[in-house]
Chains A and B, each alone.
Chain A
Amino acid sequence: MAMAVANHRESNDNINRHLDSSGKYVRYTTEQVEALERVYSECPKPTSLRRQQLIRECPILAHIEPKQIKVWFQNRRCRDKQRKEASRLQSVNRKLSAMNKLLMEENDRLQKQVSQLVCENGYMKQQLTTVVTNASCDSVDANPQHSLRDANSPAGLLAIAEETLAEFLSKATGTAVDWVQMPGMKPGPDSVGIFAISQRRNGVAARACGLVSLEPMKIVEILKDRPSWFRDCRSLEVFTMFPAGNGGTIELLYMQTYAPTTLAPARDFWTLRYTTSLDNGSFVVCERSLSGSGAGPTPSSAAQFVRAEMLPSGYLIRPCDGGGSIIHIVDHINLEGWSVPDVLRPLYESSKVVAQKMTIAALRYIRQIAHETNGEVSYGLGRQPAVLRTFSQRLSSGFNDAVNGFNDDGWSIMHCNGAEDIIVAVNSTKHLNNISTSLSFLGGVLCAKASMLLQNVPPAVLIRFLREHRSEWADFNVDAYSAATLKAGGFAYPGMRPTRFTGSQIIMPLGHTIENEEMLEVVRLEGHSLVQEDAFVSRDVHLLQICTGIDENAVGACSELVFAPINEMFPDDAPLIPSGFRVIPIDAKTSNGQDLLAINHRTLDLTSSLDVGSAPENAATASNPSSRSILTIAFQFPFENNLQDNVANMACQYVRSVISSVQRVAMAVSPSGLNPSFGSKLSLGSPEAVTLALWICQSYNRHLGSDLLRTDSLGGDSLLRQLLDHQDAILCCSLKPQPVFMFANQAGLDMLETTLVALQDITLEKIFDESGRKALCPDFAKLMQQGFACLPSGMCVSTMGRHVSYEQAISWKVFAESEDNINSNIHCLAFLFVNWSFI
């Protein structure tokens, strides 16, 4: 290497030779260069001290002047810089050339398009001026853009098919849609260009392009089997199929897709699919919706599907040398977002969502299959990847079935609990044909589900937490109940198997997709029998679980945690009744065609290393600080005959408690920490707080006969303010079996060293130690009996563990005062700690 560099410049290139003692230029020997390079790799810029040391220690370099060494290092560094610069320029050049090529192609296409339009234009003008006869009537019909499209005849369908092909191709490799790079994608060999809702058309579109090591025919086969890779696809039926010249086929399809939340209905499609091959050896599968009602859902489910439209989309597969293929995927659909609630609309009008759910999912799936076919996947617990994938698909579709609750699956709604909008639906076993018939003893399955809005919670973070800290939100006994109910025979009544759960879970991974966006695992909940004789019998409960979207590199995709109880042997055909969580982020601003056009024309996606102009800005993450997501929860409970109502109540309560746990977790993991989504409604100044303050004072007066606060003015705000500023600690706790604090004035917060938001985690018991609790008992009884109690001086503990002593404590029942003061309901308990201080 050193020898190869030309030596014509003395001053700048003394990296190969140096002046020796006689003043002549002498080459560095290979050993010398080696030694120097070695040092350089460790320390490219050695100090003079280091250099001297080097000369001393290294005999080979002994006869070189220190100055020469210095110069050598200088030149070496310079050479590095030059090399870097050169490679940088080269890469910029490559990008620019690629961009150039693309632009030229586009230019070509546009010119052709314009010339064709001009031609048609002229033709029509001509037509208008001539006398119109029957003959010219036919020729008008032959106008390519508006030809009669008779969807009832094969010839008409073929015409539609050809049109679809042309439109699809213009999107796949052309610029019929203004494609913009998807924000957040890692740069790589694939391009996922997405979106722009172009001005003329409706709907959203996504496009992906990638290289896969599979044969084209195999890819066509996989992609046409949409339910296998498109998790949201419930069913795909081929109604007719007929050949279409040069080996192609035309099919009429009816497809149903699940709704992702419980807030809007599912969508279905009636489409024509055209499979053919092009002259250049590529294969094309393209598809678009047909007008008219076509096939549809069964009458019982008709109201649960909204007809959506697929604009020309499809797959272009070009075989490569060496057995692989280049795939171009285009998905362009209109999900009729106008009919969904405002808050959900961004989900139905987002190209990013389409890209993730369909386009990228398809590419990933194909890659996964390619990987498996090439034998590069390790088997988890001895199961083949295909088997594991079946489990994962069944869990997904089971969860989707629960969330959607289609009538033709046998679901019917029991009741909607208005308070938290929990929907309860029931399904009797005779319809559960996806579960093995060994469950005939079951009365059926109950499902409790709800969807809600979360703010400022990154989906991946929330789901990761729920997965890792199951004990924070789940009641393992409920899982045990479901598991036991499913066990064949049904003689094991869950109630007769008391189990104590340690609260810990062990996660055993089964497998994951190559890009880590989905993991399949078995969760073991450790349990021990509480029955003395069975003390050594393990009552572990096993769950089969999939977790998606928690990978750090997940590009803002939806995150899910879905699990189902399973026998520990987990046979391939084990019945699965899944439950779980799905969190979908909503872009605050829907991608605006105008904005993205502007970005595109700053040409900086490909040439980001050129610092020309401002950095590319992403319209979707513009000025909106808070991020929103929709959380959908669905829990299924199998129940035995006669126990339907009991289980329904249990289900409702359980889901309610899960929801409040999740809300608590959401607040805790929210980065700002200051944005309670559903939490304490008792923030300062809220009407609830004002009313509560009023009730506290009134109840105090009622029980103890004197005024809590100095002034008696019932002017809302001022009362609340005085209460909050009161020097004694005033706290309120709810009246549950485990009383939890729900209000505190500033002194109370200081005493417990906590915040209003975290207050709800603190139970009454927690602030007292053993002796304190013992002392509290009789007083508590008195409190409940006569409505108030005066506690003597004592001690309590803050959340930080500091001890607090107080002179006196008073507690009383707070009533939600009604007008007549007679029919009041007890709202909560209040505590007043007089003269408290830290020890």
Chain B
Amino acid sequence: MERLNSKLYVENCYIMKENERLRKKAELLNQENQQLLFQLKQKLSKTKNPNGSNNDNNLCSSSSGSGQS
């Protein structure tokens, strides 16, 4: 029984470390995603307005000005 408990405890610790690692990775990926999205949007607006006017690049904006009437 004691052995079982110790084993469980060790396993828990291991999983926690693993979770932490995954969390960090998710964070990193998310940041990367945000950046990529930003780049995408910029690219989008550039191709729409080749004269290079400054569009709203707010990532959370609900209107991207993409030609909607």
- A107 and B5: CB pair below 8 A? no
The size of the chain A interface, using a CB distance under 8 A, is 45
Q: Pick from B26, B47, B60 the residue with the most CB of A within 10 Å.
A: B26
Provide the bound-state CA to CA distance between A156 and B68, in Å: 15
A121 touching B29, Cβ below 8 Å: yes
Produce 1/0 per residue, B1-42, CB < 8 A to A: 110110011011101101110110111011011001101110
Q: How near does chain B come to A81, taking the closest CB pair, in angstroms?
A: 15
Task: State whether A113 and B47 are in contact (beta carbons under 8 Å apart), knowing that A107-B19, A128-B40 are contacts in the complex.
Answer: no
Considering the chains assembled together, what is the distance between the CA atoms of A111 and B66 in angstroms?
35
Are the C-beta atoms of B62 and A149 separated by less than 8 Å? yes
Complexed CA–CA distance, A164 and B40 (Å): 25
> Quick one: which of B1, B15, B16, B36 contacts A90, CB cutoff 8 A?
B1
Residue A118, interface by CB 8 Å: yes
Partner of B13, one of A117, A141, A200, A603: A603
Known: A103-B15, A148-B64, A607-B9. A110 touches B22 (CB 8 A): yes
Determine whether the beta carbon of A146 is less than 8 Å from that of B59.
yes
Complex contacts, A291 vs chain B, CB 8 Å = 62
Chain B CB within 8 A of A517 CB? no
Q: Within residues 577 to 624 of chain A, which ones have a CB less than 8 A from any CB in chain B?
A: 601, 603, 607, 610, 612
A117–B33 touching, CB < 8 Å: yes
Task: Kindly identify which residue among A106, A124, A607 contacts B36, using a CB–CB cutoff of 8 Å.
Answer: A124
Q: How far is the CB of B61 from chain A (nearest CB, A)?
A: 9
Question: Of A92-100, A224-232, A750-758, which stretch is located at the interface?
Answer: A92-100
| A148/B9 in contact, CB under 8 A | no
Give the chain A neighbours of B37 by CB distance below 8 A. Answer: 124, 143, 145-146
Question: In whole angstroms, how far apart are the Cα atoms of A146 and B57 in the complex?
Answer: 13
B59 contacts across to A, CB distance below 8 A: 146
Complex partner residue of B44 from A93, A107, A140, CB under 8 angstroms: A140
Chain A 263-302 interface mask (CB, 8 Å, partner B; 1/0): 0000000000000000000000000000100000000000
List of B residues within 8 angstroms of A127 by Cβ: 40
Interface presence of A137 (CB below 8 A): yes
Q: Is the CB of B47 within 8 A of A89?
A: no
Smallest CB separation, B26 vs chain A (Å): 5
Given contacts A137-B44, A141-B64, contact A92 B5 (CB under 8 A): yes
Given that A104-B15, A110-B26 are contacting pairs, would A601 and B1 also be in contact in the complex, using a CB cutoff of 8 Å? Answer: no
- Residues of chain A within 8 A of B8, CB atoms compared: 93, 96-97, 100
- Asked if A106 meets B62 with Cβ closer than 8 Å, knowing A100-B12, A117-B30, the reply is no
**Counting chain B CB atoms within 10 Å of each CB, which of A96, A97, A118 scores highest?**
A96
- Residues of B within 8 Å of A612, CB to CB, are 9
What would 20 A/B residue contacts be, using CB atoms closer than 8 Å?
A93-B4, A97-B8, A103-B12, A103-B15, A103-B19, A117-B29, A117-B30, A117-B33, A124-B36, A125-B36, A128-B39, A140-B44, A145-B33, A146-B37, A148-B64, A156-B62, A175-B19, A601-B16, A603-B16, A610-B9
CB-CB nearest 3 A-B residue pairs: A110-B22, A117-B29, A96-B8
A110-B19, A124-B40 given; name 10 further pairs at CB < 8 Å: A100-B15, A104-B15, A117-B29, A117-B30, A121-B29, A124-B36, A125-B36, A132-B44, A137-B44, A200-B27
Residues in chain A within 8 A of chain B (CB atoms): 86, 89-90, 92-93, 96-97, 99-100, 103-104, 106-107, 110-111, 113-114, 117-118, 120-121, 124-125, 127-128, 132, 137, 140-141, 143, 145-146, 148-151, 156, 175, 200, 291, 601, 603, 607, 610, 612
Residues of B within 8 A of A (CB): 1-2, 4-5, 8-9, 11-13, 15-16, 18-20, 22-23, 25-27, 29-30, 32-33, 36-37, 39-41, 43-44, 47, 59-60, 62-64, 66
